Amino acid sequence: MTMLARTMAPMARVVGPGHPARGRVRLLAVVVVLAASIGVSAKTAFADADARKFVDVHNAVRAAVPKPADYAGPWAPVPPVAWSDEIARGAQAWAEHLRDTRKCGLLHSDTRYGENLAAGKDMDAERAVGMWAGEIDKHEYSPIYAFEPRSGHYSQIVWRTTTTIGCGRASCGPNAVVVCRYSPAGNRIGSAPY
């Protein structure tokens, strides 16, 4: 049964065959179905644009990773990441949890993914990723990674083997919290970051 038929069925029982209002009810049903589909499309388009922004700013940071002076072997640029709706759903749920339980305060989740958090006034993809990428000045490349809290957000963004990301955002008035998750997770102690 189509969406239009499901919408029409209850109305057809109220306005039977030959009733003068039947044509108006049919038109109303078509309008309701179209409005619902437009609403879904608008929501999806917004989500897609938001996802694209997160991917683009992450990939700009990844593309800018220079070959370290002491890098052994041939250098290949850090590959771009792609968006994962599945990872994004979990990140969005955690962002909403932080909004609802911590008023957009930060607390890492217990996830198998890598995770970066940011919060502040008008926090969005560019501000959050820009803040994390700003740690590059504190980042010291080593072929064997040892976690460095001063640059852990940056190293997670540029971790070579990370292939997918998903992010979420929740608002608390003028402030917002952003959660980005990374798969496979980076910042693996003893591994090469890139």
Per residue in 41-99, pLDDT (tens digit) is: 223 334 789 999 999 999 999 999 999 998 999 999 999 999 999 999 999 999 999 99
Angstrom distances, CA of residue 136 to CA of 54, 152, 177: 18, 10, 22
Whole-model pTM: value is: 0.76
> Using CA atoms, how far apart are residues 190 and 121, in angstroms rounded to an integer?
36
Q: Could you give the 3-state DSSP secondary structure of residue 194?
A: coil
List the end-to-end C-alpha distance of the chain, in Å, as a whole number: 53
Per residue in 91-102, pLDDT (tens digit) is: 999 999 999 999
Residue 163: name the closest of 41, 72, 100, 79 by CA: 79
